[in-house]
Amino acid sequence: MKILLSQYRPAIRLYKWADTLEKMGHSITILHTNEPITNIDFNRFNIIQFSKGYDYAKDYDLHISFNTNIRALSLLDLPTIQAVGDLKGYYTEKYKAIELQAMKQAIKCVFVSEFQMKEALKFYPFIKGKCLVIYNGIIEEQKQNCNLLRLHNGKTNIVYSGTISDKEANHRYFMDIFKYLASLKSVQFHVYPSNLGLPECYENIENIIYHEPCSPFELIKRLTVYDIGLIYYEGSSDVADSSLPNKLYEYLQAGLPILSGDYKSLKKFNKGKDVIIFFKDFKEIENLLSIKRPKENHTITYENQIKKINKLIN
Q: What is the CATH number of the domain that holds 62?
A: 3.40.50.2000
293 in a structural domain: no
Measuring CA to CA, how many Å separate 290 from each of 36, 207, 241, 272? Answer: 40, 21, 25, 20
Pick from 151-160, 163-172, 184-193: least confident: 163-172
295 in a structural domain: no
- Domain check: are 90 and 195 in the same one? no
Strand order in the sheet with 2-7: 46-49, 27-32, 2-7, 62-66, 80-83, 108-111, 131-133
- Domain check: are 126 and 199 in the same one? no
Residue 168 has pLDDT above 90, yes or no: no
296 in a structural domain: no
- Domain check: are 160 and 45 in the same one? no
Q: What angle do CA 231, 232, 235 make, to 5 degrees?
A: 165
Residue 94 has pLDDT above 70, yes or no: yes
Residue 52 has pLDDT above 90, yes or no: no
Report which of 301, 310, 306 is spatially closest to residue 142, judged by C-alpha positions. 301
Measuring CA to CA, how many Å separate 14 from each of 72, 160, 217? Answer: 15, 22, 14
Residues 243 and 265: their CA atoms lie apart, in Å, by: 6
Residues 1 and 63: their CA atoms lie apart, in Å, by: 11
Domain that holds residue 58: 2-137+302-313
Residues 312 and 131: their CA atoms lie apart, in Å, by: 9
Report which of 168, 163, 176, 67 is spatially closest to residue 112, judged by C-alpha positions. 67
Q: Could you report the per-residue pLDDT of 138-157, keeping only the tens digit for each? A: 999 888 666 667 888 899 99
